[in-house]
A and B are shown apart, each in its own frame.
Chain A
Amino acid sequence: MNEPLKIQELDKVVIRFSGDSGDGMQLTGNQFTGASAHRGNDVVTLPDFPAEIRATPGTIPGISGFQMQFGDHAVNTPGDFPDVLVAMNPAALRANIKDVKKDGFVITDSDTFTEAMIKKAGYADDVDPLDAENVLHKQVIAAPITSQTIETLKDFDIDKKSKARCKNFFTLGILFWLYDISPAFTIQWLKGKFAKKPMLADMNIKVLNEGMLFAQNSGHFQSQYRVQPADLKPGMYRSVTGNEACGLGLVAASNLAGLDLFLGSYPITPATTVLEEVAKYKDHNVKAVQMEDEIAGVCSAIGAAWAGYFACTNTSGPGIALKGEALGLAVITEIPLVVINVQRGGPSTGLPTKTEQSDLMQAMYGRNGESPMPVLAAKTPADCFHMTIEASRIALKYMTPVILLTDGYLGNGSEPFLIPDEKDLPVLKVTQRTDPKGYQSYARDPETLAREWVKPGTPGLANRVGGLEKDITGAISHDPENHDEMVRLRAKKVQNIENDIADLEVLQSPHGDDILIIGWGSTYGSIRNSVDKYQKEGKGVSQAHFSHIFPFPKNTGDVLKKYKKIVVAEMNLGQLAPLLRATYLTETIPLTKIQGSPFTEKEISDVIDTLI
């Protein structure tokens, strides 16, 4: 054994795991994330799935990725450029090598660099992908990962293919050693996961340890590295993806409201895992119903909401398009409904597994008639929990459907979630009328303008609602003046929510009011990091990030007036910017990107640099 190496301290590290869909890279990334988070680092992740579940192995379309950043401070994003690339085959190397930082590590499985695999990856004949020229300024560790794994497991009585399948734990072992992270988290996980097949646990643990030994003894690394725990708020944490957080938020909101949850939904990438998450909680008497199509998903939820239950539907953009007519029904009948749109690249099928923010206009206006619906947006995976509860609060209090926008990046990405105490969560006030005296279906609360909710089955209150315009008594009315009044009342009810939401917060620069960068949704982290950098450099660059888009927070106009230049960063062709211009007559500078991936800090800085 060699002498113990010196350990170097780092403030943050970005790792990208890449391999065939079947190489277990998501799992490897998640294990590294879990172990790092348990150590106390702040961690943000971003999985990158191919659109095909199992494209031809060894080809670039089949490459699945998982990027994560861990740090000794709030890292906010999964990082721009990896310090370490794990590439389990030549295609993974070819697809990702260009992003690796100068002098970054490339860990790859030399056993996969056969002539056939190199060809499949699309390299020209006679090219050695690991030749210095092709991996310029990178530190390449080409380890015989597959053969070492099989060799490690030679005493196990199981076929070679099953042995080879453990190779991702060899890789994980290398990384654990390199970043001085204890394998205890993963060992415990393996023991739990394979409680009924202890041999599989033993095999993976053995390979994991072997990977660590390999890293230590092979002489590839001159140093170990360590990232100290971050200064996170004290409390209990768990790791959540945005979709898990939405699911947890819905179940928590149902508990807070004292109403059973009904989720009517239909599978669609990248939103499906919200339904999967909620379906777990039968102990909360949740009814998660997979309907026959998107329309049936929202319609069943509307039927449940009308029946007096806490009802929701979740989908992605194409699903919202299909649900549009039914959402109008929820608007005109004024029933509470939470609608979660995990946005993806569009139009049409577009880029189903990639992220985008191009459904804001659809959320605002994608229905026939004057059909206002509050629109909210979550900014980080953990924020998805809180914004789901906020959407629920508004829906239940104002008797209205509410759209919560997240996106594929938030939905699949993860970060540590500070588990809130129940007493710190908002009270969701729900009253359902039981007094038959003087009831009118469309009589309104003078403050919220919400109509009353009556649960069918309540004696003496039988009434009819529907998609036809009604007067205050609930009778069908084609009277033009009544329609005018009802349209204005519904609009006013939603606009009034501005009195009941948090102000737009500004991360104010102490160095002046030169530039305000505005964003909404998942762009928060990259904008935040970029703004931090400018503020540290003494520049007058501030950040404001919208959680409530319709209605806007009341102080929005005042905030906008204060800055010389306003940049609106969004992953679309500009959808928030025109809303701001229409509402506040504010000219803004667009910073847009539609590439299916989040902004890098550099992409933001490149634009800001030109404005300073």
Chain B
Amino acid sequence: MARAPDAALFERLYRACYEDLLRYALRRTGQPETAADVVADTFLVAWRRFDDIPADNGRAWLFGVARNVLANQHRAARRGTDLAARLRHELGGAIVTAPEAPAEISAAFATLSAADQELLRLVGWEGLSAEELAVALDCSANAARIRLHRARTRFAEALRSPSFTK
């Protein structure tokens, strides 16, 4: 960390993105406890790397961090200081339920690679644009568009494949 983060700026970003990140973590983990940890770890990274956050794209950047935190959840050791204790407690009553979607869509989606699924979810569920996706994936906008295009194509192909069409 090069400088102490500007507390007011950080708080503004935190308040503006907190709920989106919480929803993302809940949707992706399906488990309130894990989601609380993901949100806490994400904002901790943001606090520590405040200088790295693009001023005009903080939300997308946070999704990128959350995505990495999620990917590393399985090896994350429990922290000595329990950042997420209160959130975990308050989130205890949260309920995540699978939507009633046509089975062939779920089945086709399930055939995609984890990377493709994540791309498509970030756009479809979280509403990220291709430009925001680039920030979240830490790649160029062009690369993000290409990856998104390929993922959509693979999804469409999976939907058309004989095992999913009636």
A binds B: no
Interface residues of A (CB under 8 A from B): none
